[in-house]
Amino acid sequence: MSKVKLGAVPLVYPIPIVLVGASVDGKPNFTEVGDCAVMGIKPALVTISLSASHHTTKGIDETGVFSINIPSTNMLSLADYCGIVSGRNVDKGTLFTTFLGDQTAAPLIQECPVGLECRVLEVVQVKHRRLFIAEVVECYVSSQFVESANGKETVPHLSKLDPIIYALDNRYYRIGDAIGTGYQEGMSHKES
Ligand SMILES: Cc1cc2nc3c(=O)[nH]c(=O)nc-3n(C[C@H](O)[C@H](O)[C@H](O)COP(=O)(O)O)c2cc1C
């Protein structure tokens, strides 16, 4: 198969869209972020990459905490708006119903089905970017999405959460169907 070189494009996909929340000068502010990744499950580690000039970045630097809120597709225009305007000029805290995390007082969004309360562990400055590596200290899930198995609450099905997916073609997408189970689909290739 022939390949075409596109140059230095970080074409890793899909990109999850999240709203990062921080308290800036004592007020909640939210910004749209695609550069968010899981760095480990136990311990629960995440990273976000923010431009050093963002209003949100100032708040995280000031407080050492932030939230990651995962909007559903019905919040698309509000999420995109949070990626267009800065909290320096617009009060984005009034766009949502907010609540404070129990452990860090980071501002979270009630309307988002999933919210993660995060405490910064390390900050790495790379060119004009600040990479915040953080531990997740609590995970808030809207009750209508919580499932239970054997009397224990479990992580909700992704398709029910209906997250917004972004890609480097500058388009938003919605998630598709589940097609298999982790640590099981590959078993058929194991030699018996
Ligand atoms: C689809 C999309 C994805 C974005 N992802 C990021 C990102 O990963 N990191 C970042 O620093 N800015 C990202 N931005 C830009 C910020 O959301 C935008 O500059 C915002 O206005 C900053 O707000 P603030 O100054 O209130 O923090 C993204 C914007 C859009 C529309």
| Domain locations in the chain as residue ranges | 15-178
The best mutation among 32, 82, 129 to test binding of ligand 1, ranked by most ligand atoms within 8 Å of the C-beta, falls on: 32
- Residue 154, pLDDT score: 87
Buried/exposed code over 139-164 (b: 16+ C-beta within 10 A; e: otherwise):
ebbeeeeeeeeeeeeeebeeeebbbb
Q: What is the pLDDT along the chain (192 residues), one digit of tens a residue?
A: 899 999 999 999 999 999 999 999 999 999 999 999 999 999 999 999 999 999 999 999 999 999 999 999 999 999 999 999 999 999 999 999 999 999 999 999 999 999 999 999 999 999 999 999 999 999 999 999 998 888 888 888 899 999 999 999 999 999 999 999 999 999 999 986
Indicate if ligand 1 lies below 6 Å from the C-beta of 21: no
Q: Are 115 and 102 in contact (CB under 8 A)?
A: no
* CATH number corresponding to 15-178: 2.30.110.10
- SS3 state of residue 106: coil
The single residue listed with the structure tokens 């305007």 is 85
Q: From ligand 1's centre to the CA of 117, what distance in Å? A: 19
Residue 149 Cα distances to 146, 163, 164, angstroms: 10, 23, 27
- Residue 17, pLDDT score: 98
Residue 76 Cα distances to 17, 29, 80, 174, angstroms: 9, 17, 6, 10
Indicate if ligand 1 lies below 6 Å from the C-beta of 93: no
Indicate if ligand 1 lies below 6 Å from the C-beta of 87: yes
Amino acid letter for position 41? I
Indicate if ligand 1 lies below 6 Å from the C-beta of 115: no
- Residue 19, pLDDT score: 99
**Looking at the whole model, is its pTM more than 0.85?**
yes
- Residue 150, pLDDT score: 87
- Residue 192, pLDDT score: 65
In the DSSP assignment, the letter for residue 95 is G
Indicate if ligand 1 lies below 6 Å from the C-beta of 47: no
Residue 117 CA to residue 94 CA, distance in Å, equals 19
